[in-house]
Amino acid sequence: MTRRTFLMKSAAIAVGAFAAGCGEAQTPAPAPAPGGASAKAPAGGAKRRVLVAYYSWGGNTKALAGHLAAATGGDLFAITPKTAYPTDYNACVEQAKKEIAAKARPALAAWPDFAQYDVVLVGTPNWWGTLAPPVSTFVENAGLAGKAVALFQTHGGGGAQRCERDFKAQCKGAPVGRALIISGSRAARSGEAAAEWARNLGL
Ligand SMILES: Cc1cc2nc3c(=O)[nH]c(=O)nc-3n(C[C@H](O)[C@H](O)[C@H](O)COP(=O)(O)O)c2cc1C
């Protein structure tokens, strides 16, 4: 599939999503602080320590992650599969399709020290309607219990699709804040949306 074909298909999906009332969400509506009831805030009113972990193949999600780190004072962590995806777009799309169908969980090159963080913001591109497989590896093995977590995501026209739902399932009961869904083409210019989302999460 060419990038153009992909985007045209994605645009059709986006229209459907909008009609269903869950299209391009910028998530300004008040959301529970991702810490919710069960995540522990640091004692003495200290600011929560935030990890902004993301996978990005083409740079859009990385740009959004940078805005979020700036808005929250959080640390950036690039989720990196041990074996990089092909740099050729079509080859990457085909590999991703197979991996997602097989529910593959590719090994990661490194892990952050989760003990340092109260809040983990997880970023992914929308790949075939769901999380990129390295992000699923990260979420399922991060030991997020006791952390507050939220998803930020970029897409090529399809919006959230199954990303938020799949993310919640993979978080296994950790308190999950409302997701930030941004079109990839706007990610670099989304500093204000990122800051507003972070504020609404209480960060
Ligand atoms: C393998 C692959 C699969 C994709 N699948 C979708 C999709 O299902 N829906 C969609 O809206 N965009 C899809 N896209 C487009 C990306 O989600 C979008 O370009 C995103 O902003 C890329 O983020 P990145 O630059 O951080 O990699 C796909 C892109 C790739 C490479």
Q: Are strands 130-131 and 119-127 parallel, antiparallel or unpaired?
A: antiparallel
- Model pTM? 0.84
- Single out the residue of 121, 134, 129 nearest to residue 175, CA to CA: 121
The token duo for 6 is 């992909």
Index of the ligand 1 atom closest to the CA of residue 61: 26
pLDDT tens for 86-117 read 999 999 999 999 999 999 999 999 999 999 99
- Ligand 1 center to 80 CA (angstroms): 17
Is 60 exceeded by the pLDDT of residue 14? no
The share of the chain scoring above pLDDT 90, in percent, equals 73
Q: Kindly report the CATH number assigned to the domain that includes residue 103.
A: 3.40.50.360
Q: Which of 5-14, 31-40, 193-202 has the weakest average pLDDT?
A: 5-14
- Single out the residue of 32, 70, 30 nearest to residue 50, CA to CA: 70
Number of domains within the chain: 1
Instruction: Please choose from 2, 3, 9, 10 the residue to mutate so as to test ligand 1's pocket, defined by most ligand atoms within 8 A of CB.
Output: 10
Index of the ligand 1 atom closest to the CA of residue 57: 27
Index of the ligand 1 atom closest to the CA of residue 63: 26
Tell me if residue 187 falls in helix, strand or coil. helix
pLDDT tens for 18-76 read 122 222 333 333 333 444 434 455 666 677 899 999 999 999 999 999 999 999 999 99
The share of the chain scoring above pLDDT 70, in percent, equals 77
- Single out the residue of 113, 126, 114, 106 nearest to residue 166, CA to CA: 126
Owning domain of residue 187 = 3-200
- Ligand 1 center to 157 CA (angstroms): 9
What residues does ligand 1 touch, defined as CB less than 6 Å away? Answer: 10, 56-62, 92-93, 96, 125-129, 154-158, 184
Contact, 143 vs 149, CB < 8 A? no
- Please, which residues have CB within 8 angstroms of residue 166's CB and are 6 or more apart in sequence? 130, 131, 136
Stated as kind and residue range, the H or E segment containing 96 is helix 89-101
Index of the ligand 1 atom closest to the CA of residue 95: 1
Instruction: Please choose from 130, 155, 165 the residue to mutate so as to test ligand 1's pocket, defined by most ligand atoms within 8 A of CB.
Output: 155
